[in-house]
């Protein structure tokens, strides 16, 4: 498994494609850990889902970001803060070649833990 830490969807930028084209391959599967929170966008589960799930702005940015490498939408899975448990995260990260996190580093699958949420962050499951 390869882990990639991102703060924004910059993978599709020419300079990134040039640097990563020998690392990210069209045969790879991708798992995105959608654990970033932006106060104005993801204050509730509904807002979070609208931003990160199919049809949302971030969702589409990530799909588009992997396109230059030949990775298609059906090769990408997601770990969602409100929906996934340690067990589902373990399952989703057991097969992908490439892990991607919005702002939070990907932890080894067995080490995914939630800490007490900060006062301005919604509580997870």
28-86 pLDDT, tens per residue? 888 888 877 666 666 788 888 888 899 988 889 889 999 999 999 998 888 888 888 88
d(CA 72, CA 89): 21
Q: In sequence order, what E strands does the chain have?
A: 2-5, 30-34, 76-80, 98-101
Predicted confidence at residue 33, as pLDDT, reads 84
Predicted confidence at residue 64, as pLDDT, reads 92
Percentage of the chain lying above the pLDDT 90 cut: 12
Choose between 100 and 22: higher pLDDT: 22
Phi and psi for 111 in degrees, rounded to 5? -110, 10
Confidence label for 6 from pLDDT (cuts 50, 70 and 90): low
């Amino acid at each position: 498994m390869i882990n990639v830490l991102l703060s924004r969807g910059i993978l599709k930028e020419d300079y990134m494609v040039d640097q990563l084209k020998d690392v990210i391959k069209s045969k790879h599967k991708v798992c995105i850990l959608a654990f970033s929170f932006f106060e104005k966008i993801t204050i509730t589960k509904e807002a979070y889902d609208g931003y990160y799930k199919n049809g949302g702005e971030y969702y589409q940015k990530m799909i588009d970001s992997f396109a230059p490498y030949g990775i298609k939408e059906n090769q990408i899975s997601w770990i969602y803060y409100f929906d996934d448990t340690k067990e589902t995260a373990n399952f989703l990260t057991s097969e992908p070649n490439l892990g991607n996190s919005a702002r939070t580093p990907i932890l080894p699958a067995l080490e995914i833990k939630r800490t007490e949420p900060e006062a301005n962050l919604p509580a997870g499951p």
